[in-house]
Amino acid sequence: MSEEKSDDKEFENLSNVVKGRFGDRLTAEELEQVKKDIKTIADASKALRTVKLSNWDEPFLVFKPYKGRK
Amino acid sequence: MPVREVSKHIREGKISPVELAEFFLGRLEKLGPGFNAVVTVTRESALSQARKAEKEIEAGLYRGPLHGIPYGAKDLLATKGIPTTWGAAPFRNQVFDHDAAVIEKLNEAGAILCAKLAMIELAGGMGYKQPFASFTGPPKNPWNPGTWTGGSSSGSGASVCAGLVPFALGSETWGSILSPANNCGVAGLRPTYGRVSRHGAMALCWTLDKLGPFCLTADDCGLVLEAISGPDPDDPTTADEDWRYKPSAKKRFTLGVPKGVADDAQEEVRTCFEEALSVLRKISTIEDFEFPDMPYEAITRTILNAEAASSFDEFIESGKASELTAPEDHYGPYARTVVLAKDYLRALRLRGVMARVVDEIMARFDAVVAPSSKRVATPIDQEFRKAAPGTTKDPMGAIGNGAGLPSISVPSGFTSNGLPVGIQFMGRAYDENIIIAIAKTYQSVTDWHKRHPKTA
């Protein structure tokens, strides 16, 4: 499958997830707006993949195990 | 009048904290509603705090430059027993039994909380596109009430601008301090992420939210930041060290201007920026440079979308978004619920790459300079993008917020129809003293900050 078709499929799948979960709350017009927002999110996702990462590029977030005071 | 001057009058006994509180409470009550800037005026508790401050100062117990100084707090900061509405109709009766850390710190400093200030609902996190996005009404700009204040710290910007309080607290996830500071022509400081405790503040995005001051001057921002900053065990993201306001003694600075940073700004914003650079050349060396090509906006936007969807997970699932004021906020949050976990993590990994790459470039400069916003205050009844097309790209905001960098906005001019324009000085992480010094020096050779809108 070409990358473009794969992206379209991803966008369609994500839109269907939102429609399935929240569609009963949204008007047809609102659903169309949500789909536009999903497209923007999908475009951002694509942009994130333009920078290659190495295995050792960790998330910029340090997890510190918690121990409360006695 | 700047906090520093008011503070001097209090210290010298020329004005009492009670007189001062009465004065500003009066202005908040009389003028605040006209700008839709105020949610709750805390008259009783303010006067009680003021009387306590008066007694302490008379007894020689002087807590510092904020002792007896009235202020307002963005209504996402918990205040014990006083409603904290988050600007959102579904939360208008919400009351917490504790104060946010910054409120506690300002109590310790002797400052007088006079009002909870209006804000864009849920700090703009549901995707608002136009100013009428708060149950308190569209936030009106004191310079021209037909335009808006900027947001989401709308009431904080308006209140300092209109002289309703000498300083205010706001917050920024992406733009919410710099935008109102720009539109309202006041100083707004977005500190380094972690400089100020977020404990007791509504969380929109845990790794992007920062609390900071609005004042008339950069110098005042330093005074307030010292009072509200510091490590907090209740917020493990706070920096380990205390921060002291010690503006750099440097007389001449090295400033970097990202190439083309104002190219897509409105024409008068561009003109004001060029004029500001001419002034800055007298006190600094200015060099053009380019940030390396990276998807900065995609990185920060993905983090924002994922964290906002999670922080309001229960709210979104409940369907209560339909009760928010802005029609677009009724459906705005739903798309974010499908940001993939691996994309959020990728954005966090890229954040580290971005932070290192940007810091390496910025190490050449004392600060990077740019317009605070590419547009002036837009009409209060129009969508931002439609009112000012082509001005929405914000790589400075993406980099600054994504990498947690401090920036200060101060006024740098006015348009031909009297709307303020701002300039921002963005520093490396933890360089608040340097950027405040630059902004303070700029204000010592300009007088934009001395202009105030006519209010009744």
pLDDT digits (tens, 9 = 90+) for B13-28: 999 999 999 999 999 9
In a domain, B454, yes or no: no
Sheet with B367-371, side-by-side order of all strands: B38-41, B112-117, B70-74, B167-172, B210-215, B187-190, B407-414, B420-426, B367-371, B253-258, B284-289
CB pairs under 8 A between A and B: 88
- Report ipTM for this prediction: 0.91
Query: What does the alpha-carbon distance between residue B132 and residue B139 come to, in Å, rounded to a whole number?
Result: 7
pLDDT at residue A62 tops 90: no
pTM: 0.97
Task: Please name the member of A35, A41, A58 whose beta carbon is closest to the beta carbon of B349.
Answer: A58
Q: Cβ of A25: how many Cβ atoms within 10 Å? A: 14
With residue B226 as reference, give the H or E element that holds it.
helix B218-228
Range of the domain at B193: 3-448
- CATH number at B115 reads 3.90.1300.10
Show the tokens assigned to B401.
């917020």
Residue of B nearest to A61 (CA): B348
pLDDT at residue B249 tops 90: no
- Which residue out of B153, B156, B171, B176 is catalytically annotated? B176
Query: What does the alpha-carbon distance between residue B299 and residue B281 come to, in Å, rounded to a whole number?
Result: 33
In a domain, B36, yes or no: yes
Mean of pLDDT values over B257-273 = 97
Mapped onto helix, strand or coil, the DSSP state of residue B235 is: strand
- Reported as a single tens digit per residue, the pLDDT across A11-24 is 899 999 999 999 99
Q: Pick from A25, A41, A52 the residue to mutate for testing the B interface (most B CBs within 10 Å).
A: A41
Q: Pick from B305, B310, B331 the residue to mutate for testing the A interface (most A CBs within 10 Å).
A: B331
CB B73 within 8 A of CB B113: yes
Phi, psi of B205 (to 5 degrees): -135, 115
Query: What does the alpha-carbon distance between residue B70 and residue B222 come to, in Å, rounded to a whole number?
Result: 16
- Reported as a single tens digit per residue, the pLDDT across B53-99 is 999 999 999 999 999 999 999 999 999 999 999 999 999 999 999 99
pLDDT interval class at B250 (50, 70, 90) = confident
Per domain, the residue ranges of chain A are 1-70
A9 touches chain B (CB under 8 A): no
- Reported as a single tens digit per residue, the pLDDT across B352-379 is 999 999 999 999 999 999 999 999 999 9
pLDDT interval class at A3 (50, 70, 90) = low
Q: Which of residues 127-146 of B touch A (CB under 8 A)?
A: 127
Domain count of the fold of chain B: 1
Show the tokens assigned to B32.
């605040």
DSSP of B113-159, one letter per residue?
A: EEEEEP--GGGGTT---SS--STT-PPEETTEEEEE--SSSHHHHHH
pLDDT interval class at A61 (50, 70, 90) = confident
- Look at residue A65 in the predicted model and tell me its pLDDT: 72
A12 touches chain B (CB under 8 A): no
Mapped onto helix, strand or coil, the DSSP state of residue B160 is: helix
Q: Cβ of A28: how many Cβ atoms within 10 Å? A: 7
